[in-house]
Chains A and B, each alone.
Chain A
Amino acid sequence: GAGVSQSPRYKVAKRGQDVALRCDPISGHVSLFWYQQALGQGPEFLTYFQNEAQLDKSGLPSDRFFAERPEGSVSTLKIQRTQQEDSAVYLCASSSRTSGIQRRDTQYFGPGTRLTVL
Chain B
Amino acid sequence: GIQVEQSPPDLILQEGANSTLRCNFSDSVNNLQWFHQNPWGQLINLFYIPSGTKQNGRLSATTVATERYSLLYISSSQTTDSGVYFCAVHGGNNRLAFGKGNQVVVIP
Contact = CB atoms under 8 A, between A and B. Distances in A.
Contacts of B93: 48, 55-56, 99
A114 B41 contact: yes
Contacts of B100: 40-42
A11 B88 CA distance: 27
Nearest to B50: A103
Of A35, A44, A45, A105, most buried by chain B (CB within 10 Å of CB) is A45
Contacts of A112: 41-42
Interface residues of B, number: 24
Interface residues of A, number: 28
Interface SS majority for chain B = strand
A59 B101 CA distance: 20
Nearest to B96: A107
B31 A104 contact: yes
Contact of B86 (A42, A48, A89, A103): A42
A111 B14 CA distance: 29
6 contacts: A42-B101, A43-B88, A48-B95, A55-B93, A56-B95, A106-B45
* 8 tightest Cβ-Cβ pairs between the two chains A and B: A42-B98, A109-B43, A45-B95, A104-B90, A106-B48, A104-B31, A99-B94, A111-B42
